[in-house]
Amino acid sequence: MHSYQRVEKDDVADISREDNNVFRSLAMLPAKMNKKADIILISIVVAIVVLLITMTLLTSQDKIKQENTHNTSTFEANPTISNLYLNSLLSSQFNSSIIENDTTFDRIERLPDEIKPLHYEIDLQPNYQQLYIIGRSKIEILCLNRTDRIVLHKKDIDIQRMAVYGNGLKYHILHVQQDLKNELFHIQLDHHLIGGHHYQLHLWFKSQIVVNRRYGFYRSYYQNRSKQTRYLYVTQLSPTDARMVFPCFDEPSMKSTFKLSITSLPGYSALSNMPVQSYSILPNGHTLVSFATTVKMSTYLVGFVVSDFENLARYSSNGILVRTWTSKENIKQTQDALKLATAYISLFSNLFNITFPLPKLDLVAIPDFAVAGMENWGLITIMQDKLLCDMQYCSMRNYASTASVLAHEIAHQWFGNLVTMKWWNDLWLKEGFATFASQLGCKFMNRDLNLCRFIVSAAHENAMQFDSSIYSHPIHQPIESQINIKSQFDSISYRKAASLIRMLYHYIGPSSFVQGIQKFLRKYEYGNANNHDLWRSFTEVNNLINVGEVMDTWIYQKNYPLLTMKIKSNMVNISQSPFMEGRVHTSRARWLIPFCYMTENGFIQRKLIDLNGSMIPLPPSTSWIKGNCNRTGIYRINYEIDLWQKFVDLLQQQPQYFSSHDRANLLDDSYYLSRVDLLNVEIFLNMTRYLIAEHDYEAFNMGILRLKFLASILDEPFKQKAKKFILYLLRSNLYQNNQVDEYDINKIMMKVLVLRMASWAEYKPVLYQIKRAFQRWLHGYSLSPNLVPAIVEIGVSIGDEDDWNRVLKRYYEVDDDHSKKLCMKGLAASKNPKLLKRLLEIIMDEKQVKPDQTVQILDLIAKNPVGTDLVWKFITSHWDQFYNRYGKEIFSMPKLISLSICQMKTEMQLQNVELFFSYNKRLQNYKRLAEMEIERLRLKIRWIHRHQQQVQSWFRNICRELKL
Ligand SMILES: [Zn+2]
């Protein structure tokens, strides 16, 4: 599963020369890619299947014998699953009781280990009008230890009949009990099941089709070109909502095979994990679709999509059928995603040395989805705009995002699906690896586009920022309550884990790394594993270090190390302590650190830093030593002041002396060390002077956005000086040749960033050009997809109410997601509070704005300085509405909590936040996150208070020196 990405507003731009009207030519650049006419097969697979399979009618509608015996339910001996149609479902025929102390914070109760599911046969007969599902399942179970009870999961499901068979016996059910807190269903039998024997559990049940929410089996929707609402029906069962659709042993280690069938509407197609095996037309015109039996897998990976979508199809080079699905009107826009997906299938099959285990992979664009993508085995569901990324129309940034999400979900087909974590406390095993594998995928697949760098850099930075709080948590932590499972899906499990794996990759080397991965996947395929199993696989192929011993120090401790390097004589003393914002370092955490360092004569060396630190010899004839080569380690380094000064001078004198990763690393570390008062902020500020010669996005973005933050804390006259200095830094990029190679993502990102920053600094020639370009866009001219987001946002921000209304009108008129999103980003950039308030009302209307978009737009408005407080007030005053809408989703609520607070800077704002959190009881699920955000804001305010004067003086002096 992949979290949706924050819509970055501040890190992207472009510009043109004041005396040169080339901006228009920039904005009018043709589409990027010379599209080769790859032959895309418009899939006729369903039709082929239709021709090949035998039309089967259900020959029997065996009436289920309903023998009522005293407090038991009984059925005919071992009925088959073909008994699909139940004309009516009877009320419970057994004693039942409910444990109702429903609090999600109590200690979670796991399934007992006496029973193991082997195979499910599940028939689902949804009533798409009445929004419920009549279901029936037969679960083949293996008794591991003698027991007289069966315990499985169910939530919001009525089990109306059940039966247990085995050893030629029919077991009587004495009573059942529903444990609401743990979502467990206990079935008490009259006799014991015997260890080592197989049994069949038959269940007849009724579950719900969820509406206006995005989990379980839910109804999604879109509008076609005729503005008619069309529905589709989709599953989102991860992590623990399979139990909402069918009763099951809903833990990742309870792997089984599944034989699934579902009835579909006329004119609709049904998809699941496996290809269609047979289908039959029912008397009511619906279609009963049966799918081939799955491989052994976990319940959270089961998937269905019932829709009127069409598809494009293509075979990967290793013969796997890959299809992309969306509405008829949009289907051609999935061609580029389809090409990427087929390429990734082949890439990962080769990299992992295991062929994709299923005969097909479907990727379905979901118009209303709570996560960016979900890796259901063989049936990836994905946010619509990620799949509809036609390079002719979408920006390189969007393309990079699509490439990243696709690679992530496809990597999951091995990491997570083929080998699954034993329990949710090792979630990072699948999410960290899928994130890292997606980085590798982008690196190999899109080498020419260089997409990987930006994806890696953003993830690494995000992880280090999140993990510097005292309220962070270890990668591996116990799951104590139900809510803990969902709260695991955060930056630590995804991005820090990916950075950790990347650090290991660089330390043991690509060859050992890939061998270790292949060994691990082969050993545990179709099974479950934990972190120890993975470390063992690495150690077996690389006996130079004990990988488990090293990695355990990283996954069982929160935060990351700060290394302090001091040169004495010819030795460098490296000590370590935890890096943590704002607290006296009482933590005793220590790490075994895969360390890399380099010196001025090109000497590069790796060394494992001990728990108590290490000494390394300083090579002769060198005047400096820099650690964390290419920013591949998760640690910060503090050098002695002379060495920091040396780096400042080196960057000034020879800007390209270090790699762009190392330049970004020096800017990043010097800035964060100043934020914790371990380094004078002037070191960072002095270092930024070299940015006038920086043409690489990673380092430029790192420095310029931090300068922008520092400018934002200053009193007005000094803010103007800061803007002058930043404009000075933009100069060389501002006057660069405007003929951007639209294949070169670095140049594109730099242009957009420079454009945004020059506008922010109120550089009139740029504002003038943007205003013109914006008016052209309003009049229907098409602009370069890479530049148009910045043009529309800046255009609205400097425009008037009429402009805003015209963009809103455009929003209602356009059909495609990308255009709608573009308009919304523009609307969110207005500097008029009245218009922003109007926008806040509009985005809550689910008929106009999809709920997943609502959160992203709130994030954009909060980033707008005029909108930060408006959004906070709006979210807190509509808290119950937000909670009801998003409370059960994984990513939305944490984002809603954080998006305003992380933009705040004042004591008054802090007080409002503290007050809200102190009385809002419905925040308990997110207590740690709230505490983290409050602490971070408190520290930020304290830092501003202490350093504002110094920063102001620095900007005043630099402007004086440079005569700005
Ligand atoms: Zn994932």
Q: For 96-138, what is each residue's pLDDT tens digit? A: 666 554 444 467 889 999 999 999 999 999 999 999 999 999 9
CA distances from residue 365 to 301, 303, 307, 368, 859 in whole angstroms, order as listed: 17, 14, 11, 9, 23
Q: Mark whether 409 is an active-site residue.
A: yes
- Compute, in angstroms, the gap from residue 2 CA to the centroid of ligand 1: 4
Q: 347-370 pLDDT, tens per residue?
A: 999 999 999 999 999 999 999 888
Average pLDDT on 24-37 reads 34
Range from 278-287, 594-603, 730-739 that averages highest in pLDDT: 278-287
| Residues sharing a CB contact under 8 Å with residue 219, sequence separation 6 or more, in sequence order | 131, 209, 210, 211, 231, 232, 233, 234
Q: 406-458 pLDDT, tens per residue?
A: 999 999 999 999 999 999 999 999 999 999 988 888 777 765 566 667 778 88
| Residue extent(s) of CATH 1.10.390.10 domains in the chain | 416-555
Average pLDDT on 755-779 reads 95
- Compute, in angstroms, the gap from residue 672 CA to the centroid of ligand 1: 29
State how far the Cα of 83 lies from the Cα of 60, in Å rounded to an integer.
7
- Compute, in angstroms, the gap from residue 360 CA to the centroid of ligand 1: 20
Dig out the tokens for 906 from the structure.
């004042």
Question: Dihedrals φ, ψ of 795, to 5°?
Answer: -55, -45
- Compute, in angstroms, the gap from residue 486 CA to the centroid of ligand 1: 13
- Compute, in angstroms, the gap from residue 693 CA to the centroid of ligand 1: 38
- Compute, in angstroms, the gap from residue 558 CA to the centroid of ligand 1: 21
| Homologous superfamily of the 68-101+113-306 domain (CATH) | tricorn interacting facor f3 domain (2.60.40.1730)
| Residues sharing a CB contact under 8 Å with residue 957, sequence separation 6 or more, in sequence order | none
Beta pairing class for 304-307 and 132-143: unpaired
- Compute, in angstroms, the gap from residue 25 CA to the centroid of ligand 1: 40
Question: Dihedrals φ, ψ of 310, to 5°?
Answer: -110, 175
Percent of the chain with pLDDT over 90: 68
| Residue extent(s) of CATH 2.60.40.1910 domains in the chain | 559-678
State how far the Cα of 333 lies from the Cα of 340, in Å rounded to an integer.
13
Dig out the tokens for 765 from the structure.
């020639």
The one-letter amino acid at 489: F
Q: What is the pLDDT of residue 441?
A: 82
- Compute, in angstroms, the gap from residue 590 CA to the centroid of ligand 1: 29
Average pLDDT on 785-813 reads 95
- Compute, in angstroms, the gap from residue 302 CA to the centroid of ligand 1: 15
Backbone CA torsion sign across 726, 727, 728, 734: positive
Dig out the tokens for 39 from the structure.
């032959």
Could you list the beta-strand ranges (E) of 816-867: none
Burial class (CB in 10 A: 0-12, 13-18, 19+), 266: exposed
- Compute, in angstroms, the gap from residue 433 CA to the centroid of ligand 1: 9
Q: What is the pLDDT of residue 416?
A: 96
| Residues sharing a CB contact under 8 Å with residue 927, sequence separation 6 or more, in sequence order | none
- Compute, in angstroms, the gap from residue 408 CA to the centroid of ligand 1: 6
- Compute, in angstroms, the gap from residue 493 CA to the centroid of ligand 1: 10
- Compute, in angstroms, the gap from residue 643 CA to the centroid of ligand 1: 41
- Compute, in angstroms, the gap from residue 416 CA to the centroid of ligand 1: 8
Q: What is the pLDDT of residue 44?
A: 36
The architecture of the domain spanning 559-678 is Sandwich (2.60)
| Residue extent(s) of CATH 2.60.40.1730 domains in the chain | 68-101+113-306
Q: What is the pLDDT of residue 826?
A: 96
Q: Which DSSP state fits 29?
A: P
Catalytic residue among 409, 461, 694, 793: 409
Among 427, 402, 401, 400, smallest CA distance to 416 is for: 427
The architecture of the domain spanning 416-555 is Orthogonal Bundle (1.10)
Q: Is the Cβ–Cβ distance between 335 and 342 less than 8 Å?
A: no
- Compute, in angstroms, the gap from residue 412 CA to the centroid of ligand 1: 7
Q: What is the pLDDT of residue 438?
A: 85
